[in-house]
Structure 1
Amino acid sequence: MRSSDALSGRKDTAEIQMERDLADAMSTLWPDPAQRTQLRIAAMMAIGTLRLSLDDWRNDTSDTPLAQHLDRNFRALMPLANDGE
Structure 2
Amino acid sequence: MNPLEFAGEVILVSASGVLSPGPLFFINIIYGSKQGITAGIKIAFGHTMVEFSVLKTKFYSALLISLSTILAFYGVYIILKIF
- Asked if Structure 1 and Structure 2 have the same fold, meaning a TM-score greater than 0.5 normalized by the shorter chain, the answer is no
State TM-score, norm by structure 2: 0.42
More helix by share: 2
State TM-score, norm by structure 1: 0.42
